[in-house]
Structure 1
């Protein structure tokens, strides 16, 4: 009470200093910025599964490999058809120069050659799809399949996360928008681990939930944060001044 009276005597309102004296707490959930569930683009039998749960991998590493012999054989067959179509096209062009055939025959040969080229491109795309590669550096979170298992197209295979880039999602009262802004420092206290990590508000939702009068924000964790995706923590905000000061 004495402090408040002294502030009033000097013309300073209590509302201006309340944010500096209080801790604002909210529950937070730590998430990986990059997380993906990779599915098979082809049907086939799994022949390679080099990484297990918890293993680290680098961008471009093969995470799941399928038996590709059928697709490689199809690609070889189409490549041979393309060679035959090329020979036919060259032959029709020579005959056209001799006026032995008409323009229609040349056009048909050109069409067959273009179609064979397109089919070879498709076949080569399928052979590349036999290997599911890592889109970025990360770790295996969960395996959905086993080696030698037959999988179908679009079947989930593996879940991966990049645990080097983390952020926290926090739901806070809308009234905090009076002082909360991007760049605000946040302290994340994970009681279950006894760990504290520093973060900074990176984005605030532009919409307020009409029922709960809350707003969602994202806070980017420092690279050396000793937290893991999925853990809950207490987000502690220590604002220094309200926006109108």
Structure 2
């Protein structure tokens, strides 16, 4: 049997060993965790060994292009031919035959007004004209009889003169009656409002049953083929504008489509409130917008300079700073650049510093690109990887040749699997 002192000593040694082992285990776990974190960080920051596959379609070559300069013009698209049809009578609207947006031909009936009282006036004027014609005929016969009798001395000169006066008065009454009849017919025509030219009803102002006063708006008709840009220009820029200069502008509702036009007329009077001058621009495009009132903004090209240009899609913005991904000597680098004015025709930006003529940049960069990554050019987006690379790469992570979207795919693959395993 062991003595009690030896038993207690053995237990003490065992407890001491366990406590040391626990501390060593915790320290080992912490060391392993730190090492794993450091390796993860170094792996994230490491440049992928697998190259980024890029085609020519993914690149933009920086080169000199024309940058137009000139004053900015803002305004709206308006038709040159437009008619605001108003009522010429005080009567009731019986019928409106056309709605907003409907096409019309010249002479088409648009609005019919009540013509009851006007028809009565016309009938009365026509009857008065017939009565005046009969009176004139009788007075003319009477005058001719007295004239014959006077030649034979059987009547007096006074009677002849009285007959001539009655004849003349009857003639005047007939003329007045015919004028009233013609006026009544014109009033009848005014009860039918017709289209003055081929176009579209842009706005209907009345409905059946409304009372149309003289001067009240009924309908508006526009010719959509006669659209033009009616813009406003700052007065201090008007001396630089001349008739015939090219204008490039965008129209709200037509996205990034750029329209071209020519300065047709410059107003000689500035607006009394805004001190801006109106400029009329005729469309040079074969198919101008067919909707009036759309907001438009552009630039009158008073000058043009040659400078380096970069597409807006190739730019990366970070506050006031701008960057581009340049490919040089087979290496991808993120380059800080300084941009200037934007060309209103194409939307490209002027490059003031950071890139030189002939540099190649990614046309549509994505967030997965890595600074310093190797780049490999491939012929087409359908090109396949070499057999060795295809064998080493996983089927789901193998890089594919780029075209805007495949740059993202290849870069994501290179970042997620830097060793190609």
Pairwise TM-score range, normalised by the shorter structure: 0.7 to 0.9
Do the aligned partners of 2:252 and 2:294 also contact (CA within 8 Å) in 1? Answer: no
- Offset at 1:184? 0.9
Q: What is the root-mean-square deviation of aligned Cα atoms in Å? A: 2.6
Deviations 1:145-194 (A, max 9, x none): 11233322222211222222112222223443454210111112124431
User: 1:162 maps to which residue?
Assistant: 223
Q: Pick one of 281, 287, 307 that aligns with 1:219.
A: 281
Cα–Cα, structure 1 residues 190 and 106, in superposed 2: closer, same or farther, change >3 Å?
same
Q: Pick one of 231, 252, 262 that aligns with 1:200.
A: 262
User: 2:95 maps to which residue?
Assistant: 48
Measure the CA separation in 2 of the matches of 1:159 and 1:197. Answer: 27
- Give unpaired runs (5+ residues) of structure 1: 1-18
User: 2:181 maps to which residue?
Assistant: 120
Q: Tell me the TM-score normalised to structure 1 length.
A: 0.81
1:67 pairs with 2:114: yes
Q: Tell me the TM-score normalised to structure 2 length.
A: 0.49
Cα–Cα, structure 1 residues 214 and 116, in superposed 2: closer, same or farther, change >3 Å?
closer
Measure the CA separation in 1 of the matches of 2:139 and 2:270. Answer: 70
Q: Pick one of 149, 162, 171 that aligns with 2:232.
A: 171
Measure the CA separation in 2 of the matches of 1:47 and 1:121. Answer: 24
User: 1:10 maps to which residue?
Assistant: none
- Offset at 1:40? 1.0
Q: Secondary structure at the match of 1:41?
A: coil
1:152 pairs with 2:213: yes
Do the aligned partners of 2:227 and 2:289 also contact (CA within 8 Å) in 1? Answer: no
Deviations 1:24-71 (A, max 9, x none): 433222111123322111122322311001111111111111122332
Bigger mean CA deviation after superposition, 32-41 or 208-217: 208-217
Q: Secondary structure at the match of 2:101?
A: coil
Measure the CA separation in 2 of the matches of 1:41 and 1:213. Answer: 37
Do the aligned partners of 1:203 and 1:219 also contact (CA within 8 Å) in 2? Answer: yes
- Give unpaired runs (5+ residues) of structure 2: 1-65, 147-158, 305-421
